[in-house]
Amino acid sequence: MGRSTTVDDEPRTPTDPIRVTDPAPRPVPDRPVDRERTPVAPTPPADTRSADRDRVDTDGIDPQPPVVAGPKPRTSLLATLGLIVSVVGAAFVLTGTLAGYGIALGALGAVCSVLGLIATRRRHVAGTTDALVGVLVGLAAVVLGVLAFTGQFDWPTTDGDWVARFREWLDSQFVDRF
């Protein structure tokens, strides 16, 4: 095998640059190559410049960050659906009249949000915050709806139309202003 030799035979120190000379090219045989032996490709010319392996040559080129290969990030459908259903359930509970439906929607939204939270554990699936907010709003809708049915609050209650009452209160407050 060819061996790289240094230009001078003096001992090198670790900080000396490595200089490699070009070995003489091998003659090509005139006889055919045996099938058992594989032909040897000629060696490429060696670099005669000094190799400085500690220095990185940037020459004004900005290195690009590596591109991560993998599936495109997406948001969990269950997390988003759970948040939407939980908010609708909370709105139904706050009307008072639709509190029964709001309890059911709040519970359904909380369950969808928990399933969405489980789905966000996989890589490239976002929506953890949506799922957590959906769970909290859904559970709050259920608790508030149950308290409204048991009569623990003055509002929301299931006994009247709060929108009409609120409109009457606003009219009484601003009767002389407009």
Show pLDDT as tens, one digit a residue, over the chain (178 residues): 455 554 555 666 767 666 656 566 666 666 555 555 666 667 766 655 555 555 555 555 666 777 666 777 789 999 999 999 999 999 999 888 888 899 999 999 999 999 999 999 988 899 999 999 999 999 999 999 999 888 887 777 777 676 777 778 888 888 876 6
Give the separation between CA 98 and CA 87, rounded to whole angstroms.
14
Closest Cα to residue 141, out of 115, 117, 168, 109?
109
Positive or negative, the Cα torsion across 94, 95, 101, 105? negative
pLDDT at position 85 is 98
Positive or negative, the Cα torsion across 165, 170, 171, 172? positive
DSSP code, position 54: T
Give the separation between CA 117 and CA 124, rounded to whole angstroms.
13
pTM: 0.54
Sort residue 7 into left (φ over 0), alpha (ψ -120 to 50) or beta: alpha
Give the separation between CA 84 and CA 141, rounded to whole angstroms.
13
Return the number of other C-beta atoms located less than 10 Å from residue 108's C-beta.
Answer: 18
pLDDT at position 90 is 96
| First-to-final CA distance of the chain | 103
Token pair of 13 as six digits: 């120190």
Q: Are 136 and 142 in contact (CB under 8 A)?
A: no
3-state helix, strand, coil in the chain (%, to 5): 40, 5, 55
